Every structure is written in C-alpha cells, then in structure tokens.
A = this chain, B = another copy of it.
Amino acid sequence: MEIVCLLFDGITALDIVGPYEVLQRLPDANVTFVAEQSGPVRTDKGFLGLVADKSIDEVTSAHVLVVPGGFATRELEHNERLLEWIRAIDATTTWTTSVCTGSMLLAAAGLLEGKEATTHWASLDRLKEYGAIPTGRRVVEQGKIVTAAGVSSGIDMALTLMARIAGDELAQAIQLGIEYDPQPPFDSGSLEKAPQAAIERLVLLYGDQA
C-alpha cells in the first residue's frame, strides 16, 4: 500500500502528521513524503523542518494520496506544475484525500467539481470558486475522494479511511494504539461551539487567515 504525503513550504504540520500517524500503521503501508523538490520544507512559521525524501517528478502513482493545507495553499492554487502532478497522481489512486486547505488544491486541480467537500472553516466558502459544494461535515466522502475539515480533522479522516481500506477492527485497534480518546479541556473546536470572545480573539490573531 503506497501512501504518498505531499509537503510544501508553509505547510501546517499537524495536517499531514495526523493522517500519516494513523495510515503508517497499516501493516503493509509504505509512506513516502514528497515535495516539489526533495529535501526539507519548513512549516508555516518556520519552526519545524519536515523532510521530503522524493521530488514530485520521482513519484508517479499512489494507492493513497494525502494533500495537507496551510497558509501556503493560497499561492499553490496557482502552481500549475503542482496541480498537474496532483491530477496525474489522482488518476492512479484508490483514495485521494485532503486535510484543511489541502482541499483547495484538489479543487484548483479540478477534482472537486460538482462534489461535496470540506476544508478549514475559514475557507469553506472559497470551495465554491472551483465548483465544489461546501459542507460542514468533518469528513466528507465522495467516491474515492475524501476531504477533511481543519488541521486536527485529519486524524478522524484517516481512521475513517483505514476502516474502508482494512475494516473496522483494524481501525479500532489503531485508534487504541494512538490512544485517541480525545478529551479537550474546552468544547471550542467549531464556530458553532466556540465562545464569541474566543472567535474574536482568533480573528485578532490571524485576521481572515484564521
């Protein structure tokens, strides 16, 4: 099972590490991290380097493609070389997936036209620009394309995907393996649940890039 994880400068690390941590536990998984050029990329604020072992030119197929997000996707939506690669890999996949604004890259590549999809809540409306149908669900399955909401949702997406690939029992075993028994100290993970003051604080921090 060839799992290909896209990296780029300006990535949100948890977008890709969440699904990777789940999917790498498939007993026959082989995970490859790729970027436009091989070598390290830096995360959004530059604090962490993640290593792409291969360039996109070296990877021509995948069983599972995982496309993460980050502020950088705004620019990458216009990167024709990358979008062409996403289209070419998608033509070979069993599953094409995204987390957070990674779905904006799938959308820009033309893969979400007429399909329901999700992304980070702050970008949800923008999916329409590419003919996708935004939905508020955390994990959205449309045939072989699975999009997930913001950042942390990739863990839920990957467990859902693992159940499809290898059955509920293995997905449950892996959930136990990563002790994914979430107990956030607050219930503030969506616009509907977050206190107004927290929403305003976030907008102050990030503006429209929240």
Contacts and interface: CB of A to CB of B under 8 A. Distances in A.
Interface of A: 12-14, 17-18, 20-21, 24-25, 27, 29-33, 40, 43, 45, 47-51, 53, 100, 120-121, 138-139, 149-153, 155-156, 159-160, 163, 168-186, 188-191, 193-195, 197-199, 201-202, 205-206, 210
A199 to B, nearest CB: 7
User: How many copies of this chain does the complex contain?
Assistant: 2
Contacts of A25: 205
B188 A172 contact: yes
Contacts of A138: 181, 183
A169 B153 contact: no
A139 B176 CA distance: 17
Given A33-B48, A177-B210, 8 more contacts: A20-B47, A21-B151, A24-B43, A139-B185, A172-B195, A172-B198, A173-B194, A180-B189
19 contacts: A12-B21, A13-B20, A21-B152, A121-B179, A139-B183, A149-B181, A150-B177, A152-B155, A153-B179, A155-B182, A156-B184, A159-B184, A159-B185, A159-B186, A160-B185, A173-B199, A173-B205, A175-B184, A180-B182
